Structure 1
Amino acid sequence: MLPAMHPELTRRTFALGVAVAAAGAGLPVVGTVSAMAADGDTKHKALVVAAGACLAAAEVCHAHCLKLLGTGDTSLKVCAPLVSATIPVCQALVRLAVLDHGRLKEFAKACLNVCADCETECRKHEGHHAECKACAEACAVCIRECKQLISA
């Protein structure tokens, strides 16, 4: 239950406050933003959710790549920089989609290409690494949503 001393505080403003506080602390906020988009009136809900899921999967995949590289296993040395590039691109895509930014379609084209590179590389490893499979699948969904936006 929300504090009674703030009657104007809604779930949405509370979630936004948590997201802002987390961002200020350097914590990831995509889950919060994606959840708000799914509940709210965001014009690009499907894109926000897809890009948020892609970002989350890319974070997990990147951590997995770094872990393996740290043990001397270089099988994911090509994957690591590609997934590393996917992270900030999807984060920016979420932000631009939530804002319905005027350059969203242009940015979605670039994001589509970055995600396609990541998906292609992750597909090479999906049989051995669940993290790569999840990332490839999330990239595919994000690519589909980007294409849908671009063609609209």
Structure 2
Amino acid sequence: MNRRELLLGGMALAGAALVGNAEAAEHDHMAHEHHHGAAGNAALAKSAADCVQTGEVCLAHCLILLGDGEKEMAACAKSVSQMLALCGALQQLANQNSKLLPKLAALAQDACNQCEEACKKHAEKHQECKACGESCAACAKECKKLSA
């Protein structure tokens, strides 16, 4: 295959993708009469996603500090790591409107509370810990609504 054929093939593929995107944009989800059910869990899914995002930043920060010899960050890193595992799953189950969601929400609430407590110890010194702790508090609140 020469360069010209490769370039023309790439342009054709890009054109097909644009047509597919345009057709998808015209597709009206509001016209569907079936019910997805996940809309009621949107706040929980968003809160869990925020926990994951801020937690990843916090964990990366903790690892850097641990590498510099600041051993007091170990408990924070451990609690963030556990929270990340649970909140990632929580977000997925909330988006799927899973029957397992209430049970996982109760467990994730505990993990978020533990993470918030660990992050509070470093919140004044480290913005990453402060943001993570705040997002964990918000997620724990959303979890409590579901598991109550």
Above 0.5 in TM-score?
yes
Q: Of the candidates 2, 5, 18, which is equivalent to residue 3 of structure 1?
A: 18
1:11: how far off? 8.9
- Change over 3 Å in CA distance of 1:6–1:45 after alignment to 2: closer
Q: Of the candidates 106, 124, 130, which is equivalent to residue 127 of structure 2?
A: 130
| Structure 2 CA distance for aligned equivalents of residues 135 and 82 of structure 1 | 11
Structure 2: stretches of 5+ with no match in the other structure: 1-16, 28-37
What TM-score does the superposition give when structure 1 sets the normalisation length? 0.75
The residue type paired with residue 61 of structure 2 is H
- Please, what is the CA RMSD of the aligned residues? 1.8
Q: Of the candidates 106, 120, 123, which is equivalent to residue 103 of structure 2?
A: 106
Structure 1: stretches of 5+ with no match in the other structure: 13-40
- After TM superposition, which residue ranges in structure 1, 4 or more long, deviate above 4 angstroms? none
* Aligned match of 2:144: 147
| Structure 2 CA distance for aligned equivalents of residues 145 and 65 of structure 1 | 26
The residue type paired with residue 77 of structure 1 is A
The residue type paired with residue 125 of structure 1 is H
What TM-score does the superposition give when structure 2 sets the normalisation length? 0.77
* Aligned match of 2:44: 47
Match of 1:42, SS state, is helix
| Structure 1 CA distance for aligned equivalents of residues 53 and 144 of structure 2 | 20
1:23-67 residue CA offsets vs partner (Å, 9 max, x unmatched) = xxxxxxxxxxxxxxxxxx622111011000011011000000000
Same amino acid, percent of matched pairs:
39
Q: Tell me the matched-pair count.
A: 122
- 2:86 corresponds to 1:89: yes
| Structure 2 CA distance for aligned equivalents of residues 138 and 131 of structure 1 | 11
The residue type paired with residue 117 of structure 1 is Q
| Structure 1 CA distance for aligned equivalents of residues 141 and 100 of structure 2 | 18
| Structure 1 CA distance for aligned equivalents of residues 106 and 118 of structure 2 | 19
The residue type paired with residue 131 of structure 1 is E
